Structure 1
Amino acid sequence: MRALVEVQGRLTPVASKSQIVYTFVAEPGFDGLSIRFSYSPKLLEDRSRALELIQQAAPRYMEDPQLGHYLQRWEQALPLQNLLTLSLDDPSGFRGAAHRHSPEQEHRIGVAESTPGFLPGPVSAGLWRITISVHAVVTDVCEYELQVSGWTREDGHGHS
């Protein structure tokens, strides 16, 4: 296995609705890629901060009388959550996405099979791009880790 990307980052709410792109070069000979991605915290535990965020956001999406009814039942929107998702492009274009809510993810991209959301096929040599879509950061800080590794069958990764 060969590390292609190993990064850590720290996000604040201002990063919401943005993307972070990492590029890497896949050399000839890889049979697959492994991706590990995690972020934390997942949930905003501070109820008073959650109420503030809901009161700020709700008027953008609704008007009275729906707005008034919604704000009376604001606790039904809890827990507010950070949401970061992944997408992957190979040298030819889109290779897949993992738009999952889980804050801990592992994905495999291989010739014969791949994690759902990613297209199986050869790992083309060249410039790849992995994108973290920062949908929402509702906590003061959200930290993430991303690792992408290339592997070969000789590494013991089986038939993929």
Structure 2
Amino acid sequence: MDDLFAPSDVSWTPVSPQLASVRRVSAAITAGVFGIAALLALGLTLGWLYGVLGLVVIAAVFGWSWVLIGRNQRSWKYAEREDELMVSHGIMFRQLVVVPYGRMQFVDVAAGPLERAFGISTVELHTATPATDAKIPGLHPDEAARLRDRLSALGQSQAWGL
């Protein structure tokens, strides 16, 4: 079953561990905002004990998400083959996206404020069918630029026959 989502004859490249850091900081900000809101809303309406209880529940959910974010980051990988790009990710719900270079319409590179602060970016491939679009988060900017240029060149050279 593992060969279905990650063929062994392919040389996989993992994404940067900084992806987990970016997602953990984002989760911490979200948990902090919801924690303060729960503490105030429950504390003022039902009593401070319920506000603290809500804060403890949010902290437990944040702790669990900390673990899941690390596992999810380690599942992201991509491979460049002769005629296609393969992107695999997921722990419980695994996904393998195979995009032929000739089907690519354009390649996006994006980096939000947190991603820029941690020195990573995301490469997204667009095809005519939105369901086959592939995204590779957590790439070093130099690798993202190299991948963008390579994929664009391969897409252009292989699309002439379409």
Q: TM-score range by the shorter chain?
A: 0.3 to 0.5
TM-score by length of 2: 0.32
> TM-score normalised to the size of structure 1?
0.32
More strand, by proportion: 1
Which structure is richer in relative contact order (CA contacts within 8 A, separation 6 or more)? 1
Structure with the larger helix share: 2
For the pair shown, which has the larger CA radius of gyration, 1 or 2?
2
